[in-house]
Amino acid sequence: MSPRATPDHPLPGHAVCLDLRGEAPAHDHDAAVRAALAAPQRGPDRRFLVLDDASRLVEHQLLYERLSSYGPAQVVCLAVGAPGERNLRRSLTLRPPAAGVLWLLDASHDTALRPLVDVLATPEVFDAALRALGDVVHGVAVPSVRVLEHDLTDEARARSWRQAVEGLSGPDVPDRPAPTEGVPPELALLLDESVPRSLAGHDWLPSHGRAGAQLRACEEALDDAVEGHDRVRGPAGLLTRVGRSHDLPGDIERLAEALARFRTTIADAFAAAGGSRLTAEHRGQLRERGIELPEMPREISRAGIVPALRDHTHELIGRRLPLRSVAARLAALSARSAPAGSAARLARLDEICGVEETRRLSARYPFLAGGSRAVAAGVTAALAFVAGLWPVLGWALGPAVGVLAAALARLMLRHRPNRSPDGRLDGGGSTGATPRLFGGLLGGTAGAGTGQLLGLPVWAGALTAALALAAVVLLALRDWTRAVDDWWSRADPEDARRVLREIHELVVTTAVHDWLFAEVRHHCSDGAGAVARLLRSLAATADAYDDENERADGYGVPNGSVYGDAPGDPYRTEKRKERADTSTGGGAAWSWQDWADSAGDDAWSDRRSDPRDDPSPASAPVASPPASAASAHVAPAPAGSSPPWLERRYGDGGPALVDTLVGDLVHGTVRILDACWAGIERDPANAGRLPLDERLTELLHETRTRLARDVAASPPSGAEEDPGERPDAARLTGVAPDAIARLLAADDPERTVPLCGPEHLRLLSHDPSAVRQVRFVPEAMRRGVTGDDIWRGTAEDVVWTGAGRHAGVLRLVPLRADVVRTVREEEAGAP
């Protein structure tokens, strides 16, 4: 019997199996019945598949009554008989419609018990067989079977399982920043430097507070300096006393001092509330320094963090990212969302406004006008030369131009903007007055001499003189404006506006993310870190489970293990010997034709036996797989390794097998995590230590069992998946279902093998109309890409099973009326 078809390992919805054979003490059989009754079963229907010795059915009457005494129960009994038995005694308890008996008349066919149990334990086949037994006389029949089994090779199963576990857990992720894009909005707000829309108009530094007052002082000093610069840089700043009435150096000094005080206050606030969690005391300290915090914005709350983490985790896992990759992303999210405290912002504050910034503003920059002294002298000499071309008057006008240029240069020096009116602050300067004077004198004298020689008319001399004088004044105003702007750009007090703006932005960012959001960010960081630890633990458990089973048996579920053919199984060894004895001529060959001949039934004796369908162990080769693309890699099992009625066809795995296994493991992992979110919400710091190893091991074992049982064609227990959306058996095994379709379409009793010996033929009923049959096929073999075309012509009475890897025909042949004897209760012996 299958080790997973016992009360200790009941399959969902399958009949609970128990074995009452042998000369075991009564208390052992009692324990087996108790275990079967305790096994959970779905719905109101309780199914029991019992293996028993045919000679002890009456003796075990009370045991069968106990199976039915705790509510409605249905029992199918596989009564194993000895070769010499010619009668079957059964109790009233084993009568239809609640019970029926399948009599296996030849012990040499005991090798068929395990695959037969797997077939009959399937709920759909169990119910169909029990209904068929209800139509058979006495409710007792001899089974005649032909079954096709679609499975994987050992290598394909091991490979697909290994790839599925690797797809679930993934390789070790190197220690490098993992991407955090695509996070839900509730979490994205914690990762960037943005401010919630509801806080956009909040006054973080009110003017009545210390920091706000200092910020206003900085802005006022900067505004005064800018206003003074705008007035000084024009003609009025040079030619009038406007330049002397504005104290630009004093304004810049006040700006530097106010900025230093403001920066100190902000740094003090960052340090005072620099912990990673904001307390009421911290709020008071911030209020003392002029920083006003609002209430928590409506866009975010602690209550929404864990649901957002859950959705994000499900989305990542749903994209089939391995657990370790998801853990790496969540660990990165944890690191980025963890608040470092406002004290960590001091470094950024120093970058924005360090000591160098205040020193730069307080520095003294010289006022330089006129450019190169040689150029200034040359330009003045040229203008004086032009003015001196007026005959006679040129002797006075030419040198006068030089004197005017020198006077204007001297006036620039006196009105220079880097000097306070009281002289306390002075950056010094140079305007080139002396070079201009000497250049003008030389140029004017030369021009006067030239004009005397040329004898220009009066109007020409007057014009050149006027142009020269105007040019001197205009050039002086240009040099003044350029020099003022050059000094202003080197002092660059307007950069303080950027500094103030960035400090204010840093204060807002710190207030939002390090103070207001501190508790929420802690919750997010702890929660993401807890999930990351859980996922890493699950991945390690998956790897350890896979490694342990590979060490134990190479894979753990070889092809025959669903029948109990595990390495070292004594039952397997014994049955190998039996198969070897049978394959070497240990039993006589017979067919349905022999049975028909012995009965003298002309309607059946006209049939001819097909040698390919001869069920004898010695002469019945396993049918070759059909020549189709889907079965190109199918290899039949070697002769003698299976019961004569069982044809095994092995595939290398279809294109959807690994993805299906990974999907089952992923969905199961999500369900495991679903039980953890409440703990993560309640105590995220310790939730990462939740013990999930056992639950994941159960998931891995359940998935691995389904891989062995039906190549994962059936959905996991508790899954909400629509079975119709699951890949078909062909895409999972790589074996086409056409041979099964042909078997079901053929209405030929010769294709089935009776589970009895030739000497029992006369015990069977010879009425063909009394025979009942059950055709069964797993639903996975007809859905999906294979389509319905190959099933056309299949009998309408086919039973489509929800799971399993067996398909075929089960014929129930009645016995003669005198072979079965029903023993009433008073005749029954005690168990």
Show the tokens assigned to 342.
């406002």
Judge if 72 and 146 occupy the same domain. yes
User: For 299-303, 505-509, 624-628, which range has the lowest pLDDT when averaged over its residues?
Assistant: 624-628
Question: β-strands 140-152, 99-104: how paired?
Answer: parallel
Environment class of 497 (CB within 10 Å of its CB; exposed 0-12, middle 13-18, buried 19+) = middle
Q: What is the pLDDT of residue 10?
A: 56
Query: Does 244 map to a domain?
Result: yes
Closest to 17 measured CA to CA, from 118, 132, 143, 133: 118
Q: Is the pLDDT of residue 59 over 50?
A: yes
Mean pLDDT of 381-409: 84
Q: Does a cis peptide bond (omega within 30 degrees of 0) precede residue 715?
A: no
Q: In the beta sheet, which residues pair with residue 50?
A: 18, 77
- In angstroms, the CA 17 to CA 30 distance is 14
Quote the pLDDT of residue 22. Answer: 83
So what's the pLDDT on residue 630?
35
Q: Are strands 646-651 and 635-636 parallel, antiparallel or unpaired?
A: antiparallel
With CA atoms as reference, report the closest residue to 823 among 13, 154, 9, 58. 58
Residue 313 lies in a domain: yes
Q: What span, in angstroms and rounded, lies between the C-alpha atoms of 430 and 371?
A: 10
CA distance 78 to 101: 6
- Tell me if 530 sits within 8 A of 680, measured CB to CB: yes
Nearest by Cα to 565 from 641, 497, 484: 641
Supply the pLDDT for residue 620. Answer: 31
Per-residue pLDDT for 626 more than 60?
Answer: no
Position 609 pLDDT exceeds 70: no
Angle at 760 between CA 756 and CA 764, to 5 degrees: 95
Residue 174 lies in a domain: no
Dist CA 683 CA 587 (whole Å): 70
Report how far residue 740's alpha carbon sits from residue 778's, in angstroms, rounded to the nearest whole number.
10
Express each pLDDT in 459-497 by its tens digit.
777 888 888 888 888 988 999 999 999 999 998 999 999
Largest CA distance in the chain: 165
The answer to whether residue 1 scores a pLDDT higher than 50 is no
Q: pLDDT tens digits for 404-447? A: 888 888 888 888 888 888 778 888 888 888 888 888 888 888 88
**648: which strand partners?**
149
In the chain, pLDDT over 70 holds for what percent of residues? 82
Model pLDDT, residue 614:
36
Determine the length of the chain: 831
CA atoms in the 13 A half-sphere facing the CB of 123: 14
Single out the residue of 245, 211, 232 nearest to residue 491, CA to CA.
232
Same-domain status, 221 and 309: no
Q: How far apart are the C-alpha atoms of 426 and 419, rounded to whole Å?
A: 4
Q: Does residue 500 fall inside a structural domain?
A: yes
What pairing do the DSSP bridges indicate for beta strands 806-814 and 772-778?
antiparallel
- Select from 483, 516, 549 the last residue of a domain: 516
The H or E element containing residue 455 is none
Structure confidence at residue 255 (pLDDT)? 93
Using an 8 Å Cβ cutoff, are 364 and 416 in contact? no
Q: Is the pLDDT confidence value at 212 over 50?
A: yes
**Residue 303: how many CB atoms within 10 A of its CB?**
10
Give residue 216's domain range.
212-290+340-516
pTM assigned to the model: 0.71
pLDDT of amino acid 794? 57
Categorize the per-residue pLDDT at 635 as very low, low, confident or very high, splitting at 50, 70 and 90: very low
Least confident residue range of 465-474, 628-637, 724-733, 811-820? 628-637
User: 45 and 12, same structural domain?
Assistant: yes
Are 797 and 744 in contact by the 8 Å Cβ rule? The answer is no
Residue 64 lies in a domain: yes
Question: Within this chain, do residues 583 and 716 fall inside the same structural domain, yes or no?
Answer: yes
Q: Are residues 393 and 312 in the same domain?
A: no
Q: In angstroms, rounded to a whole number, what is the distance separating the alpha carbons of residues 429 and 368?
A: 5
Alpha-carbon dihedral sign for residues 274, 278, 284, 288? positive
Residue 175 has, within 13 A of its CA and on its CB side, a CA count of: 1
Q: Which of 176-180, 252-256, 597-601 has the lowest mean pLDDT?
A: 597-601
Query: 361 versus 553: which is more confidently predicted?
Result: 361
Residues near 345 by Cβ (< 8 Å), separated by ≥ 6?
A: 270, 506, 509, 510, 514
Q: Is residue 175 part of a domain?
A: no
Residue-averaged pLDDT of the chain: 80
Tokens of 141: 């029949």
pLDDT at 628 over 70: no
* Cβ neighbours of 455 (radius 10 Å): 8
Give backbone dihedrals phi and psi of 775, rounded to 5 degrees, phi first: -100, 130
Residue 478 lies in a domain: yes
pLDDT at 387: 83
pLDDT for residue 111 is more than 80: no
Do residues 449 and 381 both lie within one domain?
yes
Same-domain check for residues 125 and 216: no
Residue identified by tokens 């017979």 is 590
**What is the residue-wise DSSP string for 94-138?**
G-TTTEEEEEE--GGGGGGHHHHHHHHHSHHHHHHHHHHHHTSGG
Residue closest to 70 by CA, chosen among 95, 96, 41, 97:
41
* Shared domain check, 377 and 467: yes
pLDDT value, residue 488: 92
β 47-53/16-19 pair status: parallel
Name the phi and psi angles at 219, rounded to 5.
-65, -40
Alpha-carbon distance of 96 to 77, in angstroms, equals 12
In a domain, residue 424? The reply is: yes
Compute CA 821 distance to the chain's CA centroid, rounded to the nearest angstrom.
Answer: 64
8 A C-beta contact, residue 73 and residue 36: no
Indicate the helix (H) or strand (E) that contains 753: strand 753-754
Q: Show which of 488, 516, 544 is a domain's final residue.
A: 516
Q: List the alpha helices (DSSP H) in 421-494.
A: 433-454, 458-491
Residue bearing the bigger pLDDT, 99 or 801:
99
Average pLDDT (367-388) is 84
Boundary (domain end) residue, out of 489, 516, 543: 516
- In tens, the pLDDT along 707-739 reads 988 888 888 876 666 666 788 888 888 888 777
Other beta carbons less than 10 A from residue 721's beta carbon: 12
Residue 335 backbone zone (phi > 0: left; psi -120 to 50: alpha; other: beta): alpha
Distances (CA, A) of 36 to 10, 46, 67, 546: 9, 10, 8, 31
Report residue 788's pLDDT band, with 50, 70 and 90 as the boundaries: low
Cβ proximity of 212 and 206 under 8 Å: yes
Nearest to 412 by CA among 489, 516, 487, 467: 487
253-291 as b/e: b if 16+ CB within 10 A: bbbbbbbbbbbebbbebbebbbbbebeeebeebbeebbb
Percent of the chain, pLDDT > 90?
Answer: 30
Please tell me the total count of domains within the chain.
2
262 and 162 belong to one structural domain: no
Q: Which of left, alpha, beta for 304 (phi over 0: left; psi -120 to 50: alpha)? A: alpha
Nearest residue to 636 (alpha-carbon basis) of 150, 116, 117: 150
595 in the same domain as 500: no
Query: Does residue 561 surpass a pLDDT of 70?
Result: no
Q: What does the pLDDT read at residue 622?
A: 29
Residue 817 has phi, psi (to 5 degrees) of -60, -30
Give the N- to C-terminal CA distance of the chain in Å, as an integer.
23
The answer, yes or no, to whether residue 239 has pLDDT greater than 90, is no
Q: Does pLDDT of 358 surpass 90?
A: no
Residue 360 has pLDDT above 60, yes or no: yes
Q: What is the mean pLDDT of residues 95-107?
A: 87
Residue 494 and residue 620 share a domain: no
Q: Where are the extended beta strands (E) located within 120-261?
A: 140-152
Which token pair is 265? 């206050």
What per-residue confidence (pLDDT) applies to 370? 78
| Statement to judge: residues 370 and 447 lie in one domain | yes
Question: Quick check: 631 pLDDT over 50?
Answer: no
Q: Which residues are within 8 A (CB) of 377 and not within 5 positions of it... i.e. 6 or more apart?
A: 432, 435, 436, 438, 439
